[in-house]
Amino acid sequence: MSSALRTRPVGILGTGICLPEKVLTNKDLEKMVDTSDEWIRTRTGIVERRIADPDTPTSVLAEKAARMALKNARIKAEDIGLIIVATVTPDMIFPATACLVQNRLGAISAAAFDLEAGCSGFIYGLVSGAQFVASGVYDYVLVIGAETLSRIVNWEDRNTCVLFGDGAGAVVIGPVPNGYGLLGIDLGSDGSGADLLDVPGGGSLNPATKYTVENKMHFLRMNGNEVFKFAVRIIGDSSIRALMSAGLKKEEIDFLIPHQANIRIIQAAVKRLKLSNDKVYVNLDRYGNTSAASVPIALHEAYEEGLIKKDSIIVLVAFGAGLTWGAAVIRWYE
Ligand code: ACO
């Protein structure tokens, strides 16, 4: 790990979430595509997911999660130096969704940018934001993972539409006492797997045309089997590398918060890390895969349920489109 992270310890001061009220169950999906509640539960662990109203873009979910995180951290919006929004579903190609959030929060001192690293986006954002706090450039940074995946899912494709949901999670990071906060990290990418998970239309490669719309190129496509194999390997590998960079062993993990994509992927990681199931947070049954929002939503819920306490060693780990992956080891401050 770079010495920059050790200049000033950086930790999470408060968390927040926003989940749309509308629930879409597996039973509802049975009426939309050729699938069954039984197939979805046994192959993924998902039971239901949340779907944002048509007039609610990603920035609104992000703003609400951020307000809760600010309140819990007891930090005012005007004291935030930087806002990072990790998302694959920004409101628009530009401007950055982070700027829309900055304006609505009244975060008058904040720089703002979006970060795109698929489902690993929140961990990339956390590590990026931490550099600014560690170096003393900013005292407080808002890191938000927010998604409206329902807007890019092909609701006629049973291979993908059963997997995803909408939501947002946010954290405020800032200085913490020595020995606490971010202790170790691991980030990585392998662009040779870029075509395993993508939205091919709407960018500079395939700008929006009648052809791209008719050929459903603005929807998410995924090679599920290949992503599955990659995920099973990388969750364990990345967690172990992050622990090593923190000088810790896997036996010292108090709680693992993995990206919530598929229960079978999580179970494989648990086995690899030799963890007991009560040390792993799972909420994908209720929310499905919310991409960049999944880790901060799970972190918030685990904290609110009293599963994370002062001095707990927690590992956040994710994988996603790119391909990308990331893990962060944190000693919880309060
Ligand atoms: N309902 C019923 N049958 C289905 C469904 C469905 N919803 N979806 C697929 N099937 C069928 C397939 O068509 C296939 O049928 P066939 O054998 O007749 O062709 C059969 O079920 C088995 O399909 P598999 O793809 O082999 O099923 P698998 O057990 O691999 O599960 C799944 C598929 C759930 C997608 C799994 O591969 C997976 O979870 N992959 C990882 C996905 C993931 O983590 N994505 C997120 C990445 S993060 C990001 O950045 C967004």
DSSP 191: G
- pLDDT, tens digit, 9 for 90 and up, residues 49-61: 999 999 999 999 9
pLDDT band of residue 7 (cuts 50, 70, 90) is confident
Residue nearest to atom 31 of ligand 1 (CA): 43
Together in a domain, 19 and 154: yes
pLDDT band of residue 2 (cuts 50, 70, 90) is very low
Ligand 1 lining (C-beta closer than 6 Å): 35, 39-40, 43-44, 118-119, 158-159, 162, 197, 222, 224-225, 227-228, 231, 261-262, 289, 291, 320-321
- pLDDT, tens digit, 9 for 90 and up, residues 276-293: 999 999 999 999 999 999
Q: Distance, CA 43 to ligand 1 centroid (Å)?
A: 7
- The answer on pLDDT for 99 being more than 70 is yes
Residue-range definition of the domain harbouring residue 250:
182-331
Dist. CA 184–CA 177, nearest whole Å: 16
Q: Distance, CA 224 to ligand 1 centroid (Å)?
A: 5
Residue nearest to atom 2 of ligand 1 (CA): 35
**Rounded mean pLDDT of 37-44?**
97
What angle do helix axes 224-245 and 263-272 make, rounded to 10 degrees?
A: 40
Judged by average pLDDT, the poorest of 26-40, 151-165, 271-285 is 271-285
Together in a domain, 165 and 28: yes
Of 150, 178, 206, the residue that ends a domain is 178
pLDDT at 6: 53
**The model's pTM:** 0.95
Of 178, 194, 226, the residue that ends a domain is 178
| Choice among 99, 259, 262, 300 that is catalytic | 259
* Percentage of residues in the chain having pLDDT higher than 70: 98
- The answer on pLDDT for 256 being more than 90 is yes
Q: Is 300 a catalytic residue?
A: no
Of 178, 204, 220, the residue that ends a domain is 178
Phi and psi for 328 in degrees, rounded to 5?
A: -135, 135
Together in a domain, 284 and 305: yes
Together in a domain, 31 and 138: yes
